[in-house]
Amino acid sequence: MTDRVGFFTDTSVCIGCKACEVACKTWNDVPADGVDLLGMSYDNTGRLDANTWRHVAFIEQQVEDDTRWLMSSDVCKHCTHAACLDVCPTGSLFRTEFDTVVVQADICNGCGYCIPACPFGVIDRRQDDGRAWKCTLCYDRIGDGLMPACATACPTESIQYGPLDELRERADERLATLHSQGVSDARLYGRDPDDGVGGAGAFFLLLDEPEVYGLPKDPVVTTRDLPAMWRRAGIAALGVAAGVALSFLGRR
C-alpha cells in the first residue's frame, strides 16, 4: 500500500465560497440538489447526503454584541476503523491502496446497512436507484497523481490534501500559531489516531465545539463490539449443539 493520504480542513480560513461543493459535483457528476431554502443562514444544502459529498456549513453566532461566522467544508472522514466496511455484505465498500474508503456503486445492492453504521451520518442512498453514495476522495484523480477536485478549487487552501502524516504535522503547527495569537478555542478534530474511529483520514481545525459544526463530540466506530458479540454467539451455539448431542446420546 502507498502512503496514506487524506484531507486537512482548516476552517479558520474557510470563506464559504462553496467552490469545493461545485468542483465536487462537477468532477464526480453528482446530481444537483435543487434550490432548497432551508432558513439556515446561507446554508442551502444542510448536510452531507447522496447528492452532496462536500457540505459547506454557515454558522452564525452572536459574540459580545457582534456577529461571528463559522464556516466549514464537511466531508466523509475515511475512518481508520470504518464501520461501513464492516457491515457491507457485497464488498461494494472497499479500502483503496491510498487507505481511503470508496463505494463501488455497480456492486451496491442498496441494502442500506452502511447508513446507520456510520457514526458521522455521511453515507446516504439516492431515491431514484437506492444505492449508497459518498465522497471517494477523488479516487480516479489521485490515482493519476492529481489532487481531489475540492482541494484544487479551494481558493484559500482551507482544504489541504496530501500524505496524512504531513497533514497532521501541518495541523499541529497551525494550531500552535492560532493559540499563540490568542485564538484559544481552536482545536483539532479527528487528528488523534487513538480516538474512537482510530483517527480520521479527513480531519479538521475547528474554532468551537464539534457539536456547533454538527459533528459528534466523541465518535466511536459503531461495530466495535461485533467481535465480542460473535464470540459470545459462537459459544452459545456450541453450548446448544453440545446439549442437543448429549440429549441424543442419553436417549440412545
pLDDT score at 56 = 94
- Quick one: 83 and 18 in the same domain? yes
- Quick one: 211 and 229 in the same domain? no
SS3 194: coil
DSSP assigned state of 69: E
- Quick one: 127 and 171 in the same domain? yes
pTM of the model: 0.85
- Quick one: 60 and 167 in the same domain? yes
In tens, the pLDDT along 240-251 reads 666 666 666 666
- Quick one: 246 and 171 in the same domain? no
In tens, the pLDDT along 131-148 reads 999 999 999 999 999 999
pLDDT score at 225 = 55
Q: How many domains does the chain have?
A: 2
- Quick one: 203 and 228 in the same domain? no
The grid coordinates listed for 113 are 446497512
In tens, the pLDDT along 73-101 reads 999 999 999 999 999 999 999 999 999 99
- Quick one: 111 and 228 in the same domain? no
Rg (CA), the chain: 21
- Reported as a pLDDT band with limits 50, 70 and 90, residue 252 is low
Largest distance between two CA atoms of the chain? 86
Residue span of the structural domain in which 240 resides: 222-252
